[in-house]
Chains A and B, each alone.
Chain A
Amino acid sequence: MANIEIKQLEKTYTDAKGRQTRVLDSIDLTVSGDTFVSIVGPSGSGKTTLLNIVSGIESATSGSVSLREGGRDAKVGYVFQDPRLLPWRTVMQNLSFVQDDRSDWEVRARHYLELVGLGHLGDRFPAQLSGGQQQRIGIARAFSVEPDILLMDEPFSHLDAMTSRSLREHLEQIWLQSRKTVLFVTHDITEAVQLSDRIIVLAPGGRIHETIEVDLPRPRRASDPRVAVLQAEVLARFEALEAAA
């Protein structure tokens, strides 16, 4: 069972004039097992920074992050805001690029391409795909490494409403099959309510404002009245937070 444990995490940036800006402040967070956790917050609340530190792309100023699966370090998959595909490699080559386990990688890659509905486009270059298709390749790539923990940074924010809605539903389907531990950054309350078991609300300055448990049956649809009610409730709290800031 994968486990994310974040203790007293702080991140401070220092500009050229020596001024310091704190973007994460005393973050304590534990996510265990097949849990889908969303992190929401206004712009500048440190959502992406938190994910980057968890993934190891950035370092923290202080505090610690532990990603474990049983007795070993957990394997991580990452879905970025933009697809970040190698433009000079085909879809299959892009999936091959991130595999550390070379045995059966093709089977895994084709399986996840099929799951995102793009099994027939393995020999295409990214430039031959639409933005939505490229993002789906990004999702298939992250799942294809069979990660213990999946990090997702606003993966649908650059897509149109129709495409992002479809991708959300599809992501939920894949997640229900794979049951990974997911840390999902979004600024979209609908997305957070529809996908998450738990929503962490970050306040400006990068501290955890509150944690909201989402206890709704899956699969969820945006049109489900229970989703809509919870969405309105979270939105109201979010607006109160923004007004206070």
Chain B
Amino acid sequence: MTNTLRDSPAISNPVPVTGKAPGRFVGKGTSILAGLLSLLSIWVVWEIARLWGGRLPSLAETLARLGTEWAGNEIWINFAVSINRFVLGLVLALVVGAILGVAIGLSKFAEAALSDLTMVGLAAPAVIWALLTTMWFGFGWLTPVVTVFLSGLPFVVVNIAKAVRAVPGDLILMARAFEVPRVRGLSQIIAPAVAGSAIAAVRFAVISAWNGLLLAEWFGSTSGVGWRSRYWYDANQMDGFLAWVLLFMAFLVLVDQILLAPIERRATRWRRV
């Protein structure tokens, strides 16, 4: 009997697909439960710290302060100022970082010339940039914008360079052999290949740049969320200070989890099949 493709079970039977990695919980309910547990653990740690030293306000007092800041329009005004600076610095970091990252990814000369500088950038904590820019530019809008730019830039450069190196040359040759139009090759080979690392670049840059922004406003500004938290710190009002710390963290978590993480999951969902 001739062994054809159709009657060969070893070949024609599809590989079973489970849709989830073995031994890992990925259900929506599980994720919500994990998130709630995480919030609960923060509250427990907060309460222990409050009872231990007797210096911390309760969570309720802190939230009440947040309410008065809200009522006084402090949150909106300062957030608007900060977001303005943040977006400007971040967009600059993404554009310049993408150009440098592509250059490093494609050229050995650019890699040799820029990789040490990038490592220095990665190693420098955001507080160093914040102090340097404050001394350099003084109190003004340029200090936080440049700090955001410098804090985010190295992460964009490293991840974009990694993305460029990840472009599969064999698929490019395949497209050339079939004379696939260049635009289709760009959208269906290059873009998906770099998407994961590019989004990771944005996520790391957002986190690092946000830290830089807060520090720059703390040291070198008279407005913005960093400045407002320092206002309460200088007034020795722990509830006001912690209210703003909570706000910083909540903002970052929300941007990351609601905006960036789903985009990354969508761009890389083929890896999980």
Contact = CB atoms under 8 A, between A and B. Distances in A.
A78 interface: yes
Given A130-B15, A133-B14, A166 B5 contact: yes
Given A76-B179, A97-B180, A167-B5, 20 more contacts: A56-B177, A78-B178, A80-B177, A84-B173, A89-B188, A97-B188, A100-B180, A116-B5, A117-B5, A117-B12, A118-B12, A124-B14, A128-B14, A133-B11, A133-B15, A151-B177, A162-B11, A163-B10, A166-B11, A169-B5
A22 B173 CA distance: 23
Contacts of B73: none
B5 A56 contact: no
B20 interface: no
Contact of A170 (B5, B170, B175, B176): B5
B95 to A, nearest CB: 26
A84 B174 contact: yes
A125 B176 contact: no
A216 interface: no
B4 A170 contact: yes
Between B5, B6, B12, B181, the greatest number of chain A beta carbons within 10 A of the residue's beta carbon is seen for: B5
Contacts of A120: 14
A127 B170 CA distance: 17
Between B11, B17, B171, B181, the greatest number of chain A beta carbons within 10 A of the residue's beta carbon is seen for: B11
A170 B5 CA distance: 7
Contact of B270 (A77, A78, A125, A165): A125
Contact of B174 (A80, A117, A118): A80
A180 to B, nearest CB: 15
Interface of A: 55-57, 76-78, 80, 82, 84, 86-89, 97-98, 100, 116-118, 120-121, 124-125, 127-130, 132-133, 136, 145, 151, 162-163, 165-167, 169-170, 221
Contacts of A166: 3-5, 8, 11
B192 interface: yes
B189 interface: yes
Contact of A165 (B3, B14, B179, B271): B3
25 contacts: A76-B177, A76-B179, A78-B174, A78-B178, A86-B192, A87-B271, A88-B270, A89-B270, A97-B184, A97-B188, A98-B178, A117-B5, A121-B14, A125-B270, A127-B270, A129-B14, A132-B11, A151-B177, A163-B8, A163-B11, A166-B4, A166-B5, A166-B8, A169-B2, A169-B4
B273 interface: yes
B173 A57 contact: yes
A57 B5 CA distance: 31
A5 B170 CA distance: 26
Contacts of A130: 11, 15
Contacts of B175: 97-98
Interface of B: 2-6, 8, 10-12, 14-15, 17, 170-171, 173-181, 184, 188-189, 192, 270-271, 273
Given A128-B17, A133-B14, A100 B4 contact: no
Contacts of A133: 11-12, 14-15
A179 B14 CA distance: 29
A176 B128 CA distance: 72
B189 A86 contact: yes
Contacts of A136: 5, 11
Contacts of A169: 2-5
B6 A128 contact: no
Contacts of B15: 128-130, 133
B8 A162 contact: yes
A78 B179 CA distance: 11
Nearest to A77: B178
A118 B207 CA distance: 46
A162 B184 CA distance: 36
A56 to B, nearest CB: 7
A125 B12 CA distance: 15
B1 to A, nearest CB: 11
A77 B14 CA distance: 26
Between B177, B180, B270, the greatest number of chain A beta carbons within 10 A of the residue's beta carbon is seen for: B177
A86 B8 contact: no
Given A121-B14, A162-B8, A170-B5, A57 B192 contact: no
A107 to B, nearest CB: 19
Contacts of A84: 170-171, 173-174
